[in-house]
Structure 1
Amino acid sequence: MTTAAPPHRVTPARVLHSEWHKLRTLRSTWVNLTATTVLTVAMGIGLGAAYDGSGEGGMDPVMFVLLGTQFATINLGVLGILATAGEYSTGQIRATLTAVPRRLPVLWSKAAVLAAVALPLTLVTNLLTFPLAQTFLAGTDQAASLTDPGVLRALAGNAAGLALLTVLALGIGALVRSVPLAIGAFIGLLMIVPEVLAMLPYAVVDDAVRYFPGKALEALTTARPAPEAASPGAALFAMVLWTAVTLAAAAVVLRRRDV
């Protein structure tokens, strides 16, 4: 008499491996990540080569070189949104949640996998872009080296901020469950809402705007923070808080709403 093989238990490691497998087997993932690196490096080198030394209004040298991370912000945000809202649009989320009925391990695993991919990718990209761009900026007001005060901190801070934005976008995708709407909400939170609020004639609003994700990322990307900007530590804390609150809200919705 033969006995049936026991079913595989759902463990955090297996859920994590499953989410990593889904992410790495999608062609769009590699296209997105490659485009993020290429655009950041190419724009950094292009800006360095085109700069004539006439001055950029006192722009921070790290911020100047990493202007290409504006593309990275959108690319990685879309990647995060596709990891959650993309599954809802294709219906794959039903199979995922059937395999993991507790649901929340899926969300945590997606967030962990995306952060583990985004952080080293953006950090290596930044460490490659900055010295390459600086080969064209010697003798200008934008000249700087990796050993200058605040430079490495700004390069790492930018990478940490982009990784957090990727996870934030994942949370938005889980909340909205629609790729177009999630992309609109992500871009609105980063670029539109802060600019609209900044037009209001209230000091308290101006103080709050500097802690919105897009502004906080700018503060993290400067070697010499501007007086009116948030400090790097406060900016990082604000981004962690934005991401944590969004993930917490996504977790509540995931537990309470049907697929």
Structure 2
Amino acid sequence: MTTTTGPAAGPYRVTPARVLRSEWHKLRSLRSSWITLGSAAALVMAVGIVMGTTYTSDGGDSDVDTVILVLYGTTLGTLCTVVLGILVTAGEYSTGMIRASLTAVPRRLPVLWAKVAVFAGTVFTVMLATSLLTFVVAQIFLADTDQAASLTDPGVLRAIAGNAAGTTFLSLIALGLGALLRSVPGAIGAFIGGVMVLPEVLSMLPYDAVETAVRYFPTQAAGVLGSATPLPDAAPVSGALLALALWAAATLSAAAALLRRRDA
């Protein structure tokens, strides 16, 4: 009689569902995960309510897109989710937990893809719910102003969903940088320098080609997704969404390639 052993045998074999469940358990069991997500949601809501309560029609901001005005706090909220994305990957290297994860899943890549799926689903859900609630609450105070709008107005729901999607993609880029650099401070520095500062520096160059290219950099593309009306001198919504997806895919693909080659 032949006895089969190893990770594929018996009730304890490694399956995609079990890897996903393991990563979800790790994310939700850490108090820092919910503190960070809660901070992101609180910042978005707080800024949105402040914008709603302090806005006046004669303040000179009537040309600002309503969704951008209400969800202006998304910039601060995204910083929180970016840090969380880095902690999801680089944080495991700093604590040494990654060795246990890769021992349990020797093929390695399922661990990374499970992290991506769990993290992306969580961030998108939290930010979408937060954006919807913030918009509705802020509109209570904006009802008698020139920024009054409803969820059924053209482009509003798309912009709210796009706002959550933009945050999610930026956070996935951060997660990929964390997996690439395996250092929390290093990944935070790389994100700030490469994703946030570099486009601003390049935009000062007097070249049309550079100006066009900068429109498709991550932070600029994310801003396009969160607007209910077309922004001047910006990428189209479809192009911005594709650019964000490609930036995230490139970062995560590089992280996956190095994960297969380097020791934990």
Verify the 8 A CA contact 1:81 1:183 in the aligned structure 2: yes
Task: Map 1:56-67 to 2 at 5 A.
Answer: 56=61, 58-67=63-72
Q: What secondary structure is seen at the aligned counterpart in 2 of 1:135?
A: helix
Q: Deviations over 1:66-111 (max 9, x none)?
A: 1111111111111110010000111111111111111000000000
1: CA distance, partners of 2:11 / 2:153: 57
2: CA distance, partners of 1:84 / 1:225: 35
Q: Deviations over 1:1-45 (max 9, x none)?
A: xx9995721111111111111000000011011111111111100
> What residue number does 1:133 align with?
138
Q: TM-score, normalised by structure 1?
A: 0.95
> What residue number does 1:120 align with?
125
- Out of 78, 85, 89, the residue aligned to residue 90 of structure 2 is 85
Verify the 8 A CA contact 1:45 1:132 in the aligned structure 2: yes
> What residue number does 2:218 align with?
213
Range that drifts further, 100-109 or 163-172: 163-172
1: CA distance, partners of 2:10 / 2:164: 44
Range that drifts further, 138-147 or 202-211: 138-147
> What residue number does 1:11 align with?
15
2: CA distance, partners of 1:258 / 1:90: 15
> What residue number does 1:21 align with?
25
> What residue number does 1:51 align with?
55
> What residue number does 1:173 align with?
178
Unaligned runs of 5+ in 1: none
Q: Deviations over 1:170-193 (max 9, x none)?
A: 111000100011011112233201
1:47 shift after superposition: 1.0
Range that drifts further, 82-91 or 187-196: 187-196
> Given the alignment of the two structures, is residue 163 of structure 1 paired with residue 163 of structure 2, yes or no?
no
Instruction: Report the number of matched residues.
Output: 257
Q: Deviations over 1:146-186 (max 9, x none)?
A: 11111111001111111122221111100010001101111
Q: 2:48 corresponds to which letter in structure 1?
A: G
- Cα–Cα, structure 1 residues 6 and 154, in superposed 2: closer, same or farther, change >3 Å? closer
Q: What secondary structure is seen at the aligned counterpart in 2 of 1:228?
A: coil
Kindly report structure 1 stretches of 4+ aligned residues shifted beyond 6 Å.
none
> What residue number does 1:68 align with?
73
Verify the 8 A CA contact 1:55 1:141 in the aligned structure 2: no
Verify the 8 A CA contact 2:156 2:228 in the aligned structure 1: yes
Q: TM-score, normalised by structure 2?
A: 0.93
Range that drifts further, 3-12 or 177-186: 3-12
Aligned identity (percent) is: 61
Q: What secondary structure is seen at the aligned counterpart in 2 of 1:223?
A: coil
Range that drifts further, 11-20 or 47-56: 47-56
> Given the alignment of the two structures, is residue 142 of structure 1 paired with residue 117 of structure 2, yes or no?
no
Q: What secondary structure is seen at the aligned counterpart in 2 of 1:119?
A: helix
Q: 1:50 corresponds to which letter in structure 2?
A: T
